[in-house]
Chains A and B, each alone.
Chain A
Amino acid sequence: MRKNHIKHLINAISVATISTALAACDLETSPTTSVDSSSVFNSTNDSEMVLEGVWHYIMDTNSGDRNPSFATIQLTDDCMGSDVVETNRYGYNTRYDFTDIYGRANSAGSLIWTLLYAGVNNANNVIDNIDIAVGTQADKNRIKGQALALRGYMYLILASHYSFSIDKDPQAVSVPIYTRTTDFLTASEGSAACSVTEVYQQAIDDLEQALELIPNNYQRPAKYKINRQVVLGLLSRASLYARQWKKAADYSDLLLSQNSYLMSEDEWKSGFNSVANNEWIWGHPQTSDQHGYSQMLNYLNTTDESATYFSIMVDPWFRENYNDGDYRKDQIYWSPTPGQNPATATLLWMRNEKFRYADTSAKYGDGVLLRVGEIYLINAEAKAQSGLTAEARTSLNTLRAARGANLASESLSTQDLLEEIYLERRKELWGEGFSLVDIIRLQKSVERKDWPGDNFDFVYTDANGQQQVRSIATAGHRILNFPDGTPFTPNSKYYLYRIPDTEETVNSHLYEKYPRLSIYN
């Protein structure tokens, strides 16, 4: 009896043993948040997904609140310029006082480097694999063109932020160029940094190739997709930054011949938060569940209490550059910080209500990447530089007329006209991320003038509906010189993003072709 029981039991347990042992044979597992790289580039559709994915990565990878993905560059550019007053709140105070991006251990520098080169590597993956993918030739051309345009855009940003103006020292070192998919060897050893001229040229070459590949009749499904107008706009910008005036004039002419719409006053005042704005050639739409990029509005939106930081204000002196009647000026005025009781507030800031949330509770709004206003200004600058002063003035005045600004007079010399154009860029593009780039490429200096801070008679309506006047102190620029106490100068080491520490340590080829910038010694 007993033996039988044991036999049964042993049989049962043998079954258990064998089945667990069999279950143990299958040790394959796979993730749910990624796919294996071998299965990615089968069709043109796959390549398109890679462009979607990396665009999402660039636009939605935040490194703390102070670095809202791609918008970090735009916000930093403005905070390090002349026309933004930062309120000494979290995040951009250290950009405003020039202690952040000069330091190599900063989070903004490494994030930007990572995002831009992720764009390059993924674009290279698409460019290398698209020809063998299953799909129509038309799709292949268009996708390859979009990948090239993305790569060119990345190199344009790198060239304009990691090196001084191309005419200061055309052979000065800039950043490495990669045009092939990264393999393990490249990832381990890196590649030599090229000169500022080479990096700008790479950007222009990529964009020009893209222009050939993307068909004219391509109907893009959304405004963040790159079509020919976007490529023309980026080419105009890249040529201008690279001081290739003829190209900049031609490409911007071509673009303006296709799209010359300037927004109306109503559109201007609607909050700068919608890709539906007809003047926007290229923009990044945001949704309630995808709005990493629009966290920049937490800084730029200075009218809404639910914005977290509202720290980017206007230099009160700068407001004087707008003439009365210019509707852009209406949006710039003294105010306490949003949500503050005017009856007890102790300080007024010069606010610009240009940027507002499209949705206050989810706190998002679309972002603008390229618009017709800038193209007019590129066109004007390129033509003025080419000696076509009259055409340049026309382009400038077309924009000014649309904004209600005084027109540039015919008596202006070319140089004065250029200065007018530069100033118009500051006025038109305030908050859109061009301040520092212009200072660098034009070899100008940051200019900040002390604001005396005298009281201003602030008029407000109290809780009982009565109009009240209170005399309140006002704030302007807080930082009037570099951290080392020296005055602001052109071509300062404080203006450039620095190549990250890790890149210098790991990339053994980095300074093989061109030496490290001497300002860092």
Chain B
Amino acid sequence: MGPLVAIAQNLITGHITDVRTGEPLIGASVIVKKTQGRGVVTDVDGKFSLQTQVEAPLTLRVEFLGYRPLDIDVYDFEEPVEIAMVDNSNLLQEVIITVPYGKTKKGNFTGSATFVDSKAIEQAQVSNISKALEGTVPGLQSFSSTGQPGSEATILIRGVGSVNASSTPLYVVDGIPYAGSLNSIASSDIESITVLKDAASATLYGSRAANGVIMITTKQGRQNAKPQIELTGKYGFSSRARSDYKQVSTTQWLELFHESLRNYRQDQGYSAEEAATWASKNFVSRLGINPFGTNYPEPIGTDGKIVDGAKLLWDDNWDDAMQQDAHYTDLNVKVSGGGQHSKYYFSAGYLDDQGAYKGSNFSRYTVRANIESEIKPWLEVGLNASGSYSDQDNPPQTSVQLLSPIFYARNMRGWMPIYQHDLTTGELLLDEYGNPQYDYGNYRLNNYKGYNLVSTIERDKWNYKKENASIRGFVLLKPVKGLDYKFSINADYQNQNYLTYRNPSVGKYASSGGSMTRSNSRTTGITLNNVVNYEHTFAKLHNLRLMAGQEYYEYNAGNISGSGTNILTDGYYEPDMMSTITDFSGSSTQYKLSSFFGNVDYNYNNRYYLSASVRADGSSRFSKEHRWGTFWSVGGSWKLHEESFLKTAAKWLNNLTLRASYGAQGNDNVGTYYAYQGLFAISNNLGNSGLQASRLATPDLTWETNLHLNIGLDFSLLDNRVQGSVEYFVRRSKDLLFSIDLVPSSGYSSSNQNVGAIRNNGWEFTLTGTPVSTKDLYWRIGINLTTYKNKITELPASEMWSGNRKWVEGGSLYDLYVVEWAGVNPENGNGQWWYTNAQGERVKTESYATANSNANKVNVGSSLPNVSGGINTELTWKRLTLSALFSFSLGGQIINNDYSHIMQQGGHWYAWSVDILDRWTPDHRQTDVAKLTYSPQKTYNAVDSHFLQSSSYGRLKNLTFSYALPKQVNKLLGLDNASVFVQGENLLTICGIQGLDPEQAYDGTSNFRYPAMKTISLGFNVKF
């Protein structure tokens, strides 16, 4: 301590508020400019008082996150200073984004990153964070293969960069790659999401960043802030976002079924009259039950019409019966605050997201504690710990699966009764207590026999219970100014217990005593790292930042599973209940990754920015010789608006920055953890050990590399009222891991090789405008667009197939190839397809099997949309705010298996679309719908070009209308802040195809997808 000197202290007091709302701003920092003294922050009323030795006049610098910084001149210490700050949270250049191993201001970042704030995330009423990003980030596409609550969307950043290795981005939570389950993170705990797209942004996560990085940052408390409690609650109702495909009525269906029997009989060589008589005679026997009652043994006459007097005794709606009044509940409590040296954030949440269909619900409990403490000026420690428990009922879907509620609800027709009826009168048969009794359909002649999902969907189980724990801990040392060292230890733990249960009492499995599978899997992901940072400014102009680090990641997973039958009693779900064990198995896997990395950032006078990164990774997936991969990036940016030649434009040009980056990122996620070894699979054969050749060795297998060029221009005009950016990217993937087809007769089917290359190049646009910004009225609107092309530049074979997609050099990974439909033969009503015969002629055939070879398929378009994006807007008038997000996807084709399934010629007892009414008949020969027949040549899953449909759509993802309570009311209630709101998810869908739920898997096929949910809820938010 130096000698005590009495110095005059001046006291400045003041009050800081939001210019629009007039609300006090808590925690804004105030400092006297040009002094070394400590600043102060505003208190809970937005007030501050600051002591200084500087005499008036002086200038105060006022800063608050999300607001434009202000310089206020003070001439008089007597008057309290009234400061109104302007909300700047949308000022793109100012937001703080999370980057690998640190944070930075977006304006200073040379890479391509998109920032999504907590508001946008919290408005999405979804139970999986991967679904909240659709339409918010240019370059990011979200594909929801299912709309079931709790399910995850597939995220692609700048297209598919890999073919056989993983294409999913790396998820990073609080700076560390996340190994847990995404649906265990509560959206209300998320402060922001930063999506890193190019090499400069992502290389520091080198090994796993080839497909982009989604950085999730959770909320923190604030230093010197009073404790605040925030309560949020939402309650609402969910249903299907779009109604299902329209189907023919039950009576139409029955008449059509008669027609299909008649046509089939004719095809077997009988005359039309004989066939019609046969169809009428055998109608009931081929249906299995007579919905017109036993008084009408031949209810359909030879003319194909229902005979006089015959009436349906029942006409049940299975789709309605399978659906439920779904509720949506989301409750959160958060406590945050901080003292002089520490800050804390605690939260707890509960979510209950029920599906539109019975037996498909998701509920979750979450807790979180984020604490950081500055123990000494040179020592900081922090711990983020979170835990969650979730419970999901997840019945099968997306396939032709009788146990799938979607498939079942669509295919059960009204003539099949839900409850047992008297077969003569149609009266319900009641049990001894007067209740209706379920009909399990033992009359059914197909394999629907024995199934009544209305009865069993909730009695049977497909249940996941998951416990997640995630810990992020660090020690930060600042031994000298500008230098810091951080050691962090991070662990993600997940335990998942899965139960499938078929009850032994009723339904299909009762006769074999029911069955059960219980499996448990446990995964841990541990990351340890050491990072040194050094920052220094030379000669006030040269700003330099250096970073070097080392990291080790280890992933362990193990699972055990047991199955059995002969369940003792219904309603008990533990393996003790099963008398016969049919299976017991278990295995474990391990993955290790060791890395070293470094980074240099330099800028000259905050005008020219340069950055370079390098990272080396060793992965246990590859052989010793090919284990290490080195990845790098360089980037630069130039703040043109700082240049003197643009000074004249300063009046209207607030920002103009040109950015460019280039670099390489790796991908080792080749689908197996033991990619290089020649293997013999272990099995147990009737009590003896068995081995079987399963894989040829591939010792040369190594990393896949993505080379990524990014050029971006950011601009901000007219007092930041118009902001935007344009980015161009070229993403080339080389040494692509291809699964090459081996000759099947060799005993092996495929082998992974580093061959081939693809390229994605495209444009991303973002534009945000604030047309109105007055004290009472504020309107902001933004749009983002993405368009890109995918091209295969090198392929290991002249052509390769992946389902309905064919790959050739020069083509795209998304090109769909199917058998070409050649219309209906007007002579006989059979479907026809084009095929190339041995003479090379293109001819029609009525045999789908003949036409259906790979060589014969034709390109019918791409599953990739031409343009996708989103429009978001916020309109505030006084205390009312309306905000909306609209996402869209234009272009792109889908092979609609849902539709082809209900357009079948017949055969089974499946449903028929209303479009089947246009089928071929002898009187209606010019049509595109083949004739009906009980024995069709073409089965449900046979794909051809006329079931290709446009998957373009637009969807109002969410709409929120909120009202902030007036200050006086808040005061009366003792609250700091309160609002109520109404929120809608997926309120409107624009799509040309009736019945299609257009958000689909990106492979371009649709298969009994669980539809997206429409959720409307009421909510409140209070802070005190």
User: Separation in Å of the B793 CB from the closest CB of chain A?
Assistant: 21
User: Separation in Å of the B640 CB from the closest CB of chain A?
Assistant: 42
One of B587, B618, B854, B937 near A99 (C-beta < 8 A): B937
Question: Which residues of the partner chain A approach B267 to less than 8 Å between Cβ atoms?
Answer: 485
Question: Which residues of the partner chain A approach B479 to less than 8 Å between Cβ atoms?
Answer: 6, 10
One of B269, B443, B583, B627 near A27 (C-beta < 8 A): B627
Among A69-77, A357-365, A428-436, which stretch is in contact with chain B? Answer: A357-365
250-268 of chain A: CB within 8 A of chain B: none
One of A6, A32, A178, A339 near B450 (C-beta < 8 A): A339
Q: Does A102 sit at the interface, judged by CB under 8 A? A: yes
Question: Which residues of the partner chain A approach B566 to less than 8 Å between Cβ atoms?
Answer: 361-362
Question: Which residues of the partner chain B approach A481 to less than 8 Å between Cβ atoms?
Answer: 268-269
Instruction: Report how far A171 CA is from B274 CA in the complex, Å.
Output: 47
Per-residue contact bits, chain B 284-306, to A (CB 8 Å; 1 contact, 0 not): 11111110000000000000000
One of A13, A27, A89, A182 near B620 (C-beta < 8 A): A27
B674→A505 contact, CB < 8 A: no
A20→B552 contact, CB < 8 A: yes
How many inter-chain residue pairs (CB < 8 Å) link A and B?
Answer: 330
B682→A17 contact, CB < 8 A: no
B688→A346 contact, CB < 8 A: no
675-728 of chain B: CB within 8 A of chain A: 677-686, 688-697
A52→B907 contact, CB < 8 A: no
A24→B530 contact, CB < 8 A: no
Listed residue (A25, A88, A102, A481) with the most chain B CB atoms within 10 angstroms of its CB: A88
Instruction: Report how far A504 CA is from B744 CA in the complex, Å.
Output: 10
Instruction: Report how far A36 CA is from B680 CA in the complex, Å.
Output: 6
Per-residue contact bits, chain B 537-569, to A (CB 8 Å; 1 contact, 0 not): 000000000000010101000000000011000
B935→A306 contact, CB < 8 A: no
Question: Which residues of the partner chain A approach B379 to less than 8 Å between Cβ atoms?
Answer: 9
For B619, give the chain A residue with the smallest CB separation: A27
Listed residue (B443, B554, B686, B741) with the most chain A CB atoms within 10 angstroms of its CB: B686
Count of A interface residues, CB-CB < 8 Å: 115
One of B690, B746, B908 near A121 (C-beta < 8 A): B746
A31→B690 contact, CB < 8 A: no
Given contacts A35-B679, A122-B692, A222 and B686 within 8 Å (CB-CB)? yes
Count of B interface residues, CB-CB < 8 Å: 110
B907→A178 contact, CB < 8 A: no
Q: Does A285 sit at the interface, judged by CB under 8 A? A: yes
Instruction: Report how far A309 CA is from B268 CA in the complex, Å.
Output: 25
Among B156-164, B192-200, B589-597, B891-899, which stretch is in contact with chain A? Answer: B589-597
Question: Which residues of the partner chain B approach A361 to less than 8 Å between Cβ atoms?
Answer: 512-513, 565-566, 579-580
B680→A337 contact, CB < 8 A: no
A56→B683 contact, CB < 8 A: yes
Among A187-195, A393-401, A413-421, which stretch is in contact with chain B? Answer: A187-195
A105→B853 contact, CB < 8 A: yes
User: Separation in Å of the A307 CB from the closest CB of chain B?
Assistant: 9
Q: Does B282 sit at the interface, judged by CB under 8 A? A: yes
For A58, give the chain B residue with the smallest CB separation: B692
Given contacts A34-B680, A483-B937, A362 and B580 within 8 Å (CB-CB)? yes
Q: Does B445 sit at the interface, judged by CB under 8 A? A: yes
A114→B691 contact, CB < 8 A: no
Question: Which residues of the partner chain A approach B59 to less than 8 Å between Cβ atoms?
Answer: none
One of A25, A33, A501 near B854 (C-beta < 8 A): A501
Given contacts A25-B594, A288-B580, A346-B285, A339 and B746 within 8 Å (CB-CB)? no
A290→B445 contact, CB < 8 A: no
Given contacts A120-B747, A122-B693, A187-B746, A32 and B677 within 8 Å (CB-CB)? no
Question: Which residues of the partner chain B approach A25 to less than 8 Å between Cβ atoms?
Answer: 594
Question: Which residues of the partner chain A approach B286 to less than 8 Å between Cβ atoms?
Answer: 346-347
Interface of B is mostly: mixed
Question: Which residues of the partner chain A approach B595 to less than 8 Å between Cβ atoms?
Answer: 24
B447→A35 contact, CB < 8 A: no
Instruction: Report how far A30 CA is from B673 CA in the complex, Å.
Output: 8
Question: Which residues of the partner chain B approach A346 to less than 8 Å between Cβ atoms?
Answer: 284-290, 443
Per-residue contact bits, chain B 733-746, to A (CB 8 Å; 1 contact, 0 not): 00000001111111
Listed residue (A473, A480, A506) with the most chain B CB atoms within 10 angstroms of its CB: A506
Q: Does A500 sit at the interface, judged by CB under 8 A? A: yes
Question: Which residues of the partner chain A approach B854 to less than 8 Å between Cβ atoms?
Answer: 501, 505
Per-residue contact bits, chain B 466-491, to A (CB 8 Å; 1 contact, 0 not): 00000000010101000001010000
Q: Does A224 sit at the interface, judged by CB under 8 A? A: yes
Given contacts A31-B589, A49-B691, A362-B582, A94 and B939 within 8 Å (CB-CB)? yes
Q: Does A447 sit at the interface, judged by CB under 8 A? A: no
Instruction: Report how far A501 CA is from B745 CA in the complex, Å.
Output: 12
Question: Which residues of the partner chain B approach A287 to less than 8 Å between Cβ atoms?
Answer: 686
Given contacts A38-B678, A339-B442, A289 and B582 within 8 Å (CB-CB)? yes
User: Separation in Å of the B501 CB from the closest CB of chain A?
Assistant: 15
Question: Which residues of the partner chain B approach A178 to less than 8 Å between Cβ atoms?
Answer: 745-747
Per-residue contact bits, chain B 632-663, to A (CB 8 Å; 1 contact, 0 not): 00000000000000000000000000000000
Instruction: Report how far A211 CA is from B591 CA in the complex, Å.
Output: 48
One of A10, A49, A341 near B690 (C-beta < 8 A): A49
A507→B552 contact, CB < 8 A: no
Question: Which residues of the partner chain A approach B587 to less than 8 Å between Cβ atoms?
Answer: 31-33
Listed residue (B550, B579, B688, B695) with the most chain A CB atoms within 10 angstroms of its CB: B688
Q: Does A50 sit at the interface, judged by CB under 8 A? A: yes
Question: Which residues of the partner chain B approach A188 to less than 8 Å between Cβ atoms?
Answer: 740, 742-743
B565→A88 contact, CB < 8 A: no
B743→A53 contact, CB < 8 A: no
Instruction: Report how far A13 CA is from B273 CA in the complex, Å.
Output: 93
B530→A20 contact, CB < 8 A: yes
Instruction: Report how far A362 CA is from B509 CA in the complex, Å.
Output: 11
407-458 of chain A: CB within 8 A of chain B: 450, 453
A88→B446 contact, CB < 8 A: yes
Instruction: Report how far A46 CA is from B693 CA in the complex, Å.
Output: 12
Q: Does A391 sit at the interface, judged by CB under 8 A? A: no
One of A31, A53, A191, A479 near B935 (C-beta < 8 A): A479
Q: Does A103 sit at the interface, judged by CB under 8 A? A: yes
Per-residue contact bits, chain B 498-513, to A (CB 8 Å; 1 contact, 0 not): 0000000000000111
Question: Which residues of the partner chain B approach A501 to less than 8 Å between Cβ atoms?
Answer: 853-854
For B509, give the chain A residue with the smallest CB separation: A306
Instruction: Report how far A32 CA is from B677 CA in the complex, Å.
Output: 13
Q: Does B837 sit at the interface, judged by CB under 8 A? A: yes
User: Separation in Å of the B299 CB from the closest CB of chain A?
Assistant: 12
Question: Which residues of the partner chain A approach B619 to less than 8 Å between Cβ atoms?
Answer: 27
Given contacts A2-B378, A20-B550, A506-B741, A289 and B584 within 8 Å (CB-CB)? yes
Question: Which residues of the partner chain B approach A218 to less than 8 Å between Cβ atoms?
Answer: none
User: Separation in Å of the B935 CB from the closest CB of chain A?
Assistant: 6
Q: Does B243 sit at the interface, judged by CB under 8 A? A: no
For A113, give the chain B residue with the smallest CB separation: B744
Per-residue contact bits, chain A 335-359, to B (CB 8 Å; 1 contact, 0 not): 0010111001111000000000001
User: Separation in Å of the B615 CB from the closest CB of chain A?
Assistant: 14
A337→B681 contact, CB < 8 A: no
User: Separation in Å of the A506 CB from the closest CB of chain B?
Assistant: 5
A484→B846 contact, CB < 8 A: yes
A16→B446 contact, CB < 8 A: no
Q: Does B921 sit at the interface, judged by CB under 8 A? A: no
Q: Does B749 sit at the interface, judged by CB under 8 A? A: yes
B749→A114 contact, CB < 8 A: yes
Question: Which residues of the partner chain B approach A372 to less than 8 Å between Cβ atoms?
Answer: none
For A189, give the chain B residue with the smallest CB separation: B743
132-153 of chain A: CB within 8 A of chain B: none
5 sampled A-B residue pairs with Cβ under 8 A: A27-B627, A53-B691, A178-B746, A182-B693, A222-B686
Using A33-B682, A52-B689, A190-B746 as known contacts, list a sample of 16 further A-B pairs with CB atoms less than 8 Å apart, ordered by residue number in A. Answer: A9-B477, A23-B554, A29-B591, A32-B588, A32-B589, A37-B677, A53-B685, A99-B939, A117-B746, A120-B747, A361-B566, A362-B565, A478-B935, A479-B935, A502-B741, A503-B744
9 tightest A-B CB contacts, nearest first: A121-B747, A53-B690, A24-B594, A521-B838, A103-B849, A190-B743, A53-B692, A37-B678, A56-B685
